[in-house]
Amino acid sequence: MRRHVSADLTATVTSTVEATFGVSVAEQVARESEELTVTLDGDQVEVAHVLDEASGTRWHVLRDLPPGKLAISYRATVTDGGAGTPVTPLDRIHYVRPSRYVDLDRLEAVARAEVGDVSGEQGALDVATWVHEHIRYVIGSSSVTDGASDTYLARKGVCRDFAHLTLALLRARGVPARMVACYAPGLSPMDFHAVVEAAIDDRWVVLDPTWLAPRPSLVRIGAGADASETSFLTVHSGGLTFGTLDVVATTDGALPTDDHRGTVVIG
């Protein structure tokens, strides 16, 4: 399935900045064409490229960028979604632990009471369904500091909040799980999207507790423990004021159907 994805981001650098952004599709995605342009006040900016070989995430680093108007433009045409690498022994250690936004230690009793024992593909799907049925999707209802326990108490959030709660419930029941940032044709409102991959045997099964986009059309950007490891923009030093973000993801032809009740892998 051919997919077309793009992201256009603007910001104002207020003091010399070092920042990392991740808007390119993952290394393993088959690409027909691809273009990344970064400018400051209209002039081309040098960008360092860093590959996370474990997840395939391609990070781009801006160093010593002086004040000015920053513009990042990315677009690609791809023919698959970027399959995850097989689950490794290290994945089974790293992705079952608490992380910045997945405070599963606060939710262990909740996980036992609400989802019980989680076994195999159906068990993982049942966790995502529980989150879908108990959390309301409300734009602007959460903050960037909210974690999984905040979402559980508020009972509302956006895709990253749905993903963090799903991750916490899975990990609390011993299932390694990670967040995936992706382009999502069919998503409404259109934006970057966050979903979950659960480790079932030696493969990553994708879950979308929001049910807002068909999983077979997803295109991987990156994967990590939570939003802190998959953020599309992180400022390490200096000053930057975020401006605009425009994300587009489409497919040639009709979108695939997905009732979110069966097993799907990104690929």
* Exposure on the CB side of residue 41, measured as CA atoms within 13 A: 6
What CA–CA distance (Å, rounded) separates 170 from 125?
Answer: 10
In a domain, 257, yes or no: no
The predicted model scores a pTM of: 0.96
How confident is the chain (267 residues) per 10-residue block, as mean pLDDT?
A: 97 97 98 98 96 95 97 98 93 97 95 92 96 96 94 97 98 97 96 97 95 97 97 96 97 95 91
- Count the domains in the chain: 2
Domain that holds residue 57: 3-81+231-251
CATH of the domain at 167: 3.10.620.30
CATH of the domain at 23: 2.60.40.2250
In a domain, 201, yes or no: yes
* Exposure on the CB side of residue 235, measured as CA atoms within 13 A: 14
Query: What pLDDT was estimated at residue 84?
Result: 87
In a domain, 97, yes or no: yes
Q: Could you write out the DSSP letters of every residue in 210-255?
A: T--S-GGG-EEEEEESSGGGT-SEEEEEEEEEEEEEEEEEEESSSP
Q: Residue 260 carries which DSSP code? A: S
**Residues 68 and 127 occupy one common structural domain:** no
Give the angle 260-203-3 at the CA atoms, nearest 5°: 55
Element housing 162 (H / E): helix 159-172
In a domain, 262, yes or no: no
